[in-house]
Amino acid sequence: MISHIDHLVLTVASLEKTCSFYERVLNFERKDTPGRPTSLSFGACKLSVHEVSHMFEPKAQAPTPGSGDFCLITTEQIEDVIKHLQSEGVTVEQGPVKRSGAQGEMMSVYFRDPDQNLVEVSRYS
């Protein structure tokens, strides 16, 4: 019945700080459309970004900055991702570590965005 995820929503304290982080660190593309949430596109997916002071309906029951925890897939070597994160001043919380993803074994690195959402970037073996 379901083929894939189209987008996820992040509730953030600062739209500008969050968008700047994802544009700089992960090369996401910011899209602003009047009357719609700002989004950050990457590949065939996007993150919709809702600033806590400017929410869109409908929304989660208790949207809170910092409650996100998600995994993104890369084609880059995890060691290269770690070097890039470090060059951007991003603290690596854990990694590289072996994990089991939706499609099998992968190597992952974990870090946090400006709202302390946990971001996992992984590469399948």
Q: Active site includes 120?
A: yes
Amino acid at 6: D
Outline where 13-104 has alpha helix (H). Answer: 15-26, 78-87
Give the list of residues 6+ apart from residue 92 with CB closer than 8 angstroms, or none: 82, 85, 86, 109, 110, 111
Residue 91: CB atoms within 10 A of its CB come to 9
Active site positions, annotated = 120
